[in-house]
Amino acid sequence: MDLQIVRGDITTFPVDAIVNAANTSLLGGGGVDGAIHRAAGPELLAECRTLHGCKTGKAKITKGYRLPAKYVIHTPGPVWNGGGSHEAELLESCYRSCLELAEANGCRTVAFPSISTGVYHFPLEQAAEIAVRTILEYGKGGTALEVVEMVCFDGRTKAAYDAALAKMKER
């Protein structure tokens, strides 16, 4: 499995699945969640209504509708409360749950946003290390996933993920 760090708009990626940094209602919100819902069209919201929400750290899958991706995997990331409320474990669970769900649905290519680092205020460098470590560890177990992309919205985010990947490769 190849992990790539790229800059771009996740709603434009022609992959098997994109990950949505959702809220627990799965009914849309701000940031990447709102962008994905706008790009996918109203059918996405209609399908999300049938899922009855999702717990933080878990994931649920829908069709991609008007997106170039076949599927959207929705995962509510943890809100940062200083680090003492199991935020790191929950964030790790988000990535692992999404990878498992992607693989269970026959996906070979998956694109992730930086989960919880926007309005949920998870410290970017720590989130990047958790994401990169979790994805690389998942890939070591033998997987049908071929390419996982971390799609960074801006240069600061991409730099944090590039640094996290370089640090993991040094180990």
Instruction: List, by residue number, the catalytic residues.
Output: 33
Torsion, Cα of 22, 16, 40, 136 (10° steps):
30
The C-alpha atoms of residue 111 and residue 64 are separated, in whole angstroms, by 13
Q: Is 74 helix (H, G, I), strand (E, B) or coil?
A: strand
User: The tokens of 113 are what?
Assistant: 């946003």
Residue that is written with structure tokens 């899958």 in the block: 61
Identify how many contiguous H helices and E strands the chain contains and give both numbers.
5, 6
State the sign of the Cα–Cα–Cα–Cα dihedral 67, 72, 76, 77.
Answer: negative
2 contacts: CB under 8 Å, gap ≥ 6: 146, 147, 148
The C-alpha atoms of residue 32 and residue 106 are separated, in whole angstroms, by 24
